[in-house]
Amino acid sequence: MKKALICGISGQDGAYLAQLLLSKGYSVCGTSRDAQISSFQNLMRLGIREQVKLESMALTDFRSVLQILTKIDPDEVYNLAGQSSVGLSFEQPVETLESIATGTLNLLEAIRFLGKPIKLYNAGSSECFGDTGGDPADETTPFRPRSPYGVAKATAFWQVANYREAYGLFACSGILFNHESPLRPERFVTQKIVSAACRIAGGSQEKLLLGNMSIQRDWGWAPEYVEAMYLMLQQDEPDDYAIATGASHRLEDFVATTFAELNLDWREHLIVDESLFRPTDIQLGKGNPTKAGQKLGWQACYQMDDVIRMMILAKAQQGLNVLLEAV
């Protein structure tokens, strides 16, 4: 039985990845900064909370990382931890850089120190690319990050590449474009939109406040994207891959489609709030996943419209469950 260690298991990707690995017969251990007080709600929502071993680990503390790697002795490590909000990174740039870059470095160095054949997956981000002038970004596109989050992810990416080349570690980064699911918290714009639209459809008189409506993003389905993570660590040689649908849509399109699914006119329920504009932002995010298709056999099956419908359906089911519990 293979053993996997998932750093940041309490998040969206960590929970779906744990579910995938369990289905493949893995023994799964997950970490958070304080496993004793964390609720692990996403694991509970997926019904796998009791199947996962949980440990406390501070990625920014090398000793903590080394202790957990020694204790768990994993075959594969998936690094999904760190401050995960682009918007919040402008308010907390130091915390963002330390949690992502220092955390990744500690993992790499601990694996090198132990000298065991541990495979490492690192969660990269399309935020590393910045603006690409409208061209789809792939593994050869230069990085020009436009947020503290993007800078931190770019730093971690090059750390991984350096340890792979200098020390021979099986370490790779998945440069993932935006991927959504019902497990997203409402501080992410897609869940904010879906949740508000569902409440409005249910009679709420609230207004949806959003920032720059003209930005374009490549939105995919998170459960599909964790499959790409798994596939990267099953290859004979480590490499980096861009993971995306290959199609981009404006935020306005995401809003319009969501409200239309609920038979609402988004224009009647939205206010553009300039305070929500970021100091610097990426106008167009679009990925080219050709390499992942050719080498991993991975391709996105779900596009933006599918993602919206599945998120709305999950909200409806969640509401039904609450109603049934009340009865």
CA separation for the pair 116, 234 (Å, rounded) = 17
**pLDDT at residue number 318:** 79
Q: What is the pLDDT of residues 9-21, one digit of tens each?
A: 999 999 999 999 9
The two three-digit tokens of residue 85, written as one number: 């909000």
**pLDDT at residue number 99:** 95
For the chain, residues with pLDDT lower than 50 are 327
> CB-hemisphere CA count at 13 Å for 114?
23
What DSSP character marks residue 146?
-
**pLDDT at residue number 4:** 98
What DSSP character marks residue 183?
T
Q: What is the largest CA-CA distance in the chain?
A: 61
Positions marked catalytic: 125, 127, 149
Q: What's the gap between Cα 309 and its chain centre?
A: 20
Q: What is the pLDDT of residues 232-243, one digit of tens each?
A: 999 999 999 999
Q: What is the pLDDT of residues 89-113, one digit of tens each?
A: 999 999 999 999 999 999 999 999 9
* Structural domains of the chain in order of their starting residue, each with its CATH number: 3-180+220-243 (3.40.50.720), 189-217+248-285+304-326 (3.90.25.10)
CA separation for the pair 13, 208 (Å, rounded) = 26
> CB-hemisphere CA count at 13 Å for 43?
23
CA separation for the pair 160, 173 (Å, rounded) = 7
CA separation for the pair 79, 229 (Å, rounded) = 10
**pLDDT at residue number 327:** 43
| Secondary element (H or E) of residue 111 | helix 103-114
**pLDDT at residue number 114:** 97
